[in-house]
Amino acid sequence: MQSLKTVWRGEFSRDFLTQKYWPVMFVLFWVPVFIASFFYPGYNIVQDYISDLGVPANNPIGWPIWSFGHAIFGILLFPVIRYLYRQLAGEPRKYLRVGTVFLILSAIGILGLGTIPQFSYPGLGEIHATNATLLIGGTYLNLFSWFPLMRKDPKMKQSIVVARLVAGLVILGGLALSVLPAFFLDDQAVGCSGGVCPWYLSTPFWEWTFLIGMMVNDVLLFFVIPERKSC
């Protein structure tokens, strides 16, 4: 039986992480998001952003549920980061520390998304955008900063290491393809008609893809790291 103290320190086994802790995190995040979507009139992942579910003006009943899921996920992510750091403690410090900082920023980002409501007050929009950037940027910068560390380790499962990098590049490329046209090209240039873009150029769609891909990458990360320390 794991105590709350040892869990918070990340002092648990990979079996505990993958069979108990992470499934609980997964449920506590996705169930609130799923419930919140029911209270949002006509919600569509191709047309509406993930964060739209957490806007009180758009989703007056569902937004606290959405916020809870993001906040609790952010809190529960910190023990996972401590677990990963412990398991990688024998690796070159420059890669380990930098990548860990990026993961912490990612956790702060999703925690901030859940704890700072998106009311229409001055400055809150910028804070929300900052938290979203921390989440996305922290996740991808960790992916790339830890790749050299893992790629050189003979104990790592190389196929999963490469798969994790490829998955990250694909999702990042898709997100860029949907975001960049919105800033640099007009509707006709990106194949939009009447302001409505096809699903594959939809920023909300790629935002959802990123979120799912981020969680897939997390699971790959759990299994690629050999369990070097007994708990």
**What was the pLDDT predicted at 3?**
82
- pLDDT tens-digit series, residues 85-95: 988 876 667 77
**What is the C-alpha separation between 16 and 96, in angstroms, rounded?**
23
Q: Is residue 163 part of a domain?
A: yes
**What is the C-alpha separation between 74 and 114, in angstroms, rounded?**
8
Task: Return the SS3 of 196.
Answer: strand
Q: Is residue 142 part of a domain?
A: yes
Q: Is residue 219 part of a domain?
A: yes
Q: Is residue 230 part of a domain?
A: no
- pLDDT tens-digit series, residues 153-175: 777 777 777 777 777 777 777 66
Q: Is residue 56 part of a domain?
A: yes
- pLDDT tens-digit series, residues 72-115: 999 999 999 999 998 887 666 777 889 999 999 999 999 999 99
Q: Is residue 91 part of a domain?
A: yes
Q: What is the pTM assigned to this prediction?
A: 0.85
- pLDDT tens-digit series, residues 180-191: 655 554 444 444
Number of domains in the chain: 1
**What is the C-alpha separation between 132 and 129, in angstroms, rounded?**
5
Cβ(149)–Cβ(92) below 8 Å: yes
pLDDT higher than 70, residue 46: yes
Q: Is residue 229 part of a domain?
A: no
- pLDDT tens-digit series, residues 187-207: 444 445 455 667 776 778 878
**What was the pLDDT predicted at 179?**
64
Q: Is residue 231 part of a domain?
A: no
Task: Return the SS3 of 119.
Answer: coil
Structural domain including 98 reads 4-224
pLDDT higher than 50, residue 227: yes
Cβ(110)–Cβ(74) below 8 Å: yes
**What is the C-alpha separation between 89 and 74, in angstroms, rounded?**
23
